[in-house]
Structure 1
Amino acid sequence: MTKQAQQTVLAAELPERGQPLAGGVFVTRYWLNGVERALILLPDELSGPWGEYGVEIKGAGSYSDGEANTRAMAEAGSVIAIKALELGGHIPSCLEGQLVMAAKADGLVVLNEERFHWLSSQRAAYTAYIMDFEDGWLSLTGEGDERLARPVRSLIIQ
């Protein structure tokens, strides 16, 4: 069962970056598809393969829209995508991963630096993006590899 998550936040109710919001930590404000949003890092850490190696998932190639990517992944059977959506979040896109890394660099969030984390942006049928939250390296790897994923939530700012 998918947890019903908060969908919007009033601009006047946004806390300072690094403070609690909607079950996680407020990372930053950003624009996605012409809409201003608040990015929240959730406390959960997931582990598993991105998806099936060699299968291109239509709708999971966005560099910026992690929620759309994650929904496409889940529809294709990705276990970590399904888990992220059940938490009321999604796996960050490349853009959202970089925003999370910027918040870490600013000392606002703590991230597991031991392993690369999945991002929801697929590059091709055999590779998806990963990020190293120690140094911020963005790279690609085979989708069948076991990696961590740190879900985020994105709220529309009203």
Structure 2
Amino acid sequence: MTKQAQQTVLAAELPERGQPLAGGVFVTRYWLNGVERALILLPDELSGAWGEYGVEIKGAGSYSDGESNTRAMAEAGSVIAVKALELGGHIPSCLEGQLLMAAKSDGLVTLNEERFHWLSTQRSADDAYTMAFEVGWLYNDAKSNERLARPVRSLPIQ
């Protein structure tokens, strides 16, 4: 069963970066598809494969839209994508991963630095992007490898 998550946030009610918001920590404001949004890091940490090696998933190639990537992954059977959506969040895109790294560098959030984290952006039928939060490096890895995923939530700002 999917948790009922907050759907929007009022601009006047946004806390300072690094403060609690909508079940997580407010990371930053950003623009996605013409809509200003609040990026929130959820406390959950998932582990698993991104998907099936050698299978390209249509709709999972956005560099910026992690939610649409994660929905495409879930429809194709990705267990970690389904879990992220059940939490009312999604696996970050490459852009959202870089925003998380910036917040970590500013001391606003804590991220596991010991393992690579999946991003929802697919690179090819074989690979998807990962991020090393120790130093902020963007890599790609075989989709069938087990990695961590740290879900986020992205709320439109009104």
State the TM-score, normalized to the length of structure 2: 1.00
The one-letter code of the counterpart of 2:93 is S
Q: Secondary structure at the match of 1:101?
A: helix
Report how far residue 79 of structure 1 moved. Answer: 0.1
Residue segments in structure 2 that go unaligned for 5+ positions in a row: none
Q: Secondary structure at the match of 1:83?
A: helix
Identity of aligned residues (%): 87
The one-letter code of the counterpart of 1:97 is G
Report how far residue 7 of structure 1 moved. Answer: 1.0
1:35 pairs with 2:72: no
1:26 pairs with 2:26: yes
1:46 pairs with 2:46: yes
CA distance in 1, matches of 2:6, 2:54: 35
CA distance in 1, matches of 2:7, 2:78: 23
Report how far residue 59 of structure 1 moved. Answer: 0.2
CA distance in 1, matches of 2:13, 2:103: 20
The one-letter code of the counterpart of 1:112 is N
CA distance in 1, matches of 2:77, 2:4: 21
Cα deviation 1:69-127 (Å, max 9, x = unaligned): 00000000000000000000000000000000000000000000000000000010000
Q: Secondary structure at the match of 1:124?
A: coil
Partner of 1:117: 117
Partner of 1:11: 11
Q: CA RMSD in A?
A: 0.3
Q: Secondary structure at the match of 1:89?
A: coil
1:1-158 correspondence to structure 2 within 5 Å: 1-158=1-158
CA distance in 1, matches of 2:60, 2:141: 15
CA distance in 2, matches of 1:61, 1:2: 24
CA distance in 2, matches of 1:132, 1:111: 10
Cα deviation 1:8-29 (Å, max 9, x = unaligned): 0000000000000000000000
Cα deviation 1:33-92 (Å, max 9, x = unaligned): 000000000000000000000000000000000000000000000000000000000000
State the TM-score, normalized to the length of structure 1: 1.00
Report how far residue 4 of structure 1 moved. Answer: 1.2
4+ runs deviating over 2 angstroms: none
The one-letter code of the counterpart of 1:119 is L
